[in-house]
Amino acid sequence: MNILKPSDYTLVSSTVADSAYSAWNSATAYAIGANVVYTNHGEYRALTANTDKTPSDNPTDWQFLGTTNRWRLFDQFLNTQTTATTSMQYVIDSYDVQAIFIGNLTNITSVRIEVISNIDSSILEDVTLSASREAKDWYEYFFGTLSGGIYRTLLYERTTLDRDVSVRVTFSGAGTIGIGFLIIGTKKHIGYLQWGFSLSSLDYSTVITDTASGITYLNKGNSVKLLTGTTFIPTNLSDACYDDLVEIQGIPAVFYDSLESTRVYGFIKKFELPIKSPVETLVQIDIQGLL
């Protein structure tokens, strides 16, 4: 199993417009209903008439509306998207980036990734990933959509070793395109995922009863992906593996196997290392996806 841990980054440029709202100012007297953008790339609406009330620290005075459009693909919400018409481009400076994971794609046909040296501006890598998925069988070919749909996630692992680099990512598609998240960071290998792992889903839908009419209905909620699996590592690496997993706990990361049969953007819920052999140790791990 591989773990893609997000790295620090600097957004150099983007073709996506940011917020249409003005930046919050501590000296401005805001009326109820006023909209602002704060320095955390969040948009807020005034719930009370106030002055010098920091939006992120005063939830009774300000309602958080969401991350600004330009920055939505960097937040930790899988069900929100950065949107644009036909195409968008981001240039990101991130030292020692080793892999890029992009998810929750809508109407994307291709993603071009260029790795650029910060030393001499040369292009070290230039690859275009197709988001179009071919029909997986004859039934889908004849009775489904001809193209088979699109991939919801794309993963790219770097092929060169230069550390001081920037990455230019260009998204192309038709109509209004959307990207839910972009994870850029370093990669660590944690054993080989044993066949027989389990993928499941946790549904946050709730049953609600209208007290006035007595009608009960299902209020659809979000769902998250769950992964339960076992990997193998040499026993003499058990302590190092334990430290690696503890380090990543509480941090959103991307978990995927070498064959890319599964990909989960989430966090480690629980793990165990039952050491039963002097040669090989099992790593049992439970991963919960984010919303």
pLDDT for 27 equals 96
pLDDT single digits (tens) 15-25: 999 999 999 99
pLDDT for 153 equals 87
Residues 6+ apart with CB under 8 A from 239: none
DSSP 22: P
Phi first, then psi: give them for residue 261, nearest 5 degrees.
-75, -15
Do both 151 and 163 map to the same domain? yes
Q: Compute the distance between CA of residue 118 and CA of residue 15 in angstroms, rounded to an integer.
A: 20
What's the number of domains the chain is made of? 3
Do both 198 and 169 map to the same domain? no
Listing DSSP states for 53-75 in one string gives --GGG-TTTEEEEEE-GGGGGGS
- Identify the CATH number of the domain in which residue 160 sits: 2.60.120.260
Do both 115 and 166 map to the same domain? yes
Place of tokens 């291709």: 110
Do both 138 and 274 map to the same domain? no
Of residues 243, 179, 257, 255, the one with CA closest to residue 4: 255
Residues 6+ apart with CB under 8 A from 201: 223, 224, 225, 226
Do both 107 and 168 map to the same domain? yes
> What residues in the chain have per-residue pLDDT under 50?
145-148
Do both 7 and 113 map to the same domain? yes
Token output for 83: 């949107």
- What range defines the domain where residue 104 resides? 2-14+73-188
Do both 56 and 197 map to the same domain? no
Instruction: List, in sequence order, every residue forming a beta bridge with 270; answer none if it has no partner.
Output: 286
Do both 6 and 118 map to the same domain? yes
Task: Let me know: does 7 contact 94? Beta carbons within 8 Å.
Answer: yes
Q: Compute the distance between CA of residue 137 and CA of residue 143 in angstroms, rounded to an integer.
A: 10
pLDDT for 83 equals 95
Say whether 101 sits in a helix, a strand or coil. Answer: strand
Do both 172 and 106 map to the same domain? yes
Residues 6+ apart with CB under 8 A from 112: 126, 127, 128, 129, 168, 169, 170, 172
pLDDT for 192 equals 84
Q: Compute the distance between CA of residue 62 and CA of residue 48 in angstroms, rounded to an integer.
A: 7
pLDDT for 147 equals 44
